[in-house]
Amino acid sequence: MFCAAIECGAECALVRTTDGPAGRPESFNPKNIGVYAGCPERYYWTYVKKLRMPEPFSAARLKGIATHSVLAEVLRYRMDGQPEPESVAELGVLAADRLKEDEYPEDQRGEWSHDVRDVAEWAGWSLDRLEPEARVVAVEREFDYRWGGYDFSARVDAVFEHLDGEIEHVDFKTGKAGWDHIQQVLSRVTVCAEYPERSVRTTFMYASQHTVDSRVMARETLVTTWPEIAGIVESICTTTEWPARPSGFCGFCRYRPVCSVHGTAPGSSQN
């Protein structure tokens, strides 16, 4: 079904699909749109070819997953009216359960206990930033929106209802601080579809950086970002070419062995 990657240098290296457009997913979300925007060939291997490749070990990735898991569990306690952990030490018990020591290579096992402390501290810092009077109405829930014949979705870490009626959706981050305008717009649009008459606030909490970015999206952001999202969606649905887009992320990409620019594995031009 798929033709070989064309080896002609980083500027024009690409993969082509020979049976017409094949990239449309069931639903568009910040992740798959972001992958395509960053590197169309990575999107091809991930969502068209659905090629499974080993995930390189990354303590930062595992700590991020564990932090989200701890926060989700605590917020579900809060939503259900159950007792919550009252100290970083108690959060550390949850963190040790979520951050699996056996997923660390032998030569990095010594870092595990330190990483558990990081997870507990990040979770505790994030919980301290939340408005205690706000009611938790959703945890790790996917919100949907249909527009122009396309289905959109956004998975939101938590949604809160404030005493004044404002809805706040919060995403917890453990990497570097940086506003993701596509995630912001898609999350807000899908949450607003659920709460059409409410003021909706978007909050990103960068736990490892101890930074909070919270704002009600200006109309100008929607006006400028939605055409960008629509253009990416149209390209995904119509393209038959998936060019590589080299960047600083390449060194961490799981598809590097089969990449048309960096690939070294036999059969990197896979059919």
Distances (CA, A) of 34 to 30, 68, 191: 6, 20, 19
168 and 123 together in one domain: no
pLDDT of residue 270: 42
CATH of the domain at 207: 3.90.320.10
pLDDT of residue 20: 59
51-64 pLDDT, tens digit per residue, is 999 888 999 999 99
pLDDT of residue 13: 54
Instruction: Tell whether 235 is covered by a domain.
Output: no
211-241 pLDDT, tens digit per residue, is 999 999 888 888 899 999 999 999 999 999 9
Tell me the whole-structure pTM to 2 decimals: 0.86
Residues of the chain with pLDDT under 70: 1-14, 16-20, 264-271
Task: Print the domain residue range for 149.
Answer: 135-226
pLDDT of residue 263: 80
Domain end, chosen from 129, 154, 179, is at 129
140 and 113 together in one domain: no
What is the count of structural domains for the chain?
2
Q: Using DSSP bridges, classify how beta strands 150-161 and 241-243 pair: parallel, antiparallel or unpaired.
A: unpaired
Instruction: Tell whether 139 is covered by a domain.
Output: yes
pLDDT of residue 18: 60
Q: Contact at 8 Å (CB) between 140 and 172?
A: no
Instruction: Tell whether 26 is covered by a domain.
Output: no
Question: Residue 164 class from Cβ within 10 Å (0-12 exposed, 13-18 middle, 19+ buried)?
Answer: exposed
166 and 222 together in one domain: yes
Instruction: Tell whether 15 is covered by a domain.
Output: no
Instruction: Tell whether 151 is covered by a domain.
Output: yes
205 and 190 together in one domain: yes
pLDDT of residue 264: 61
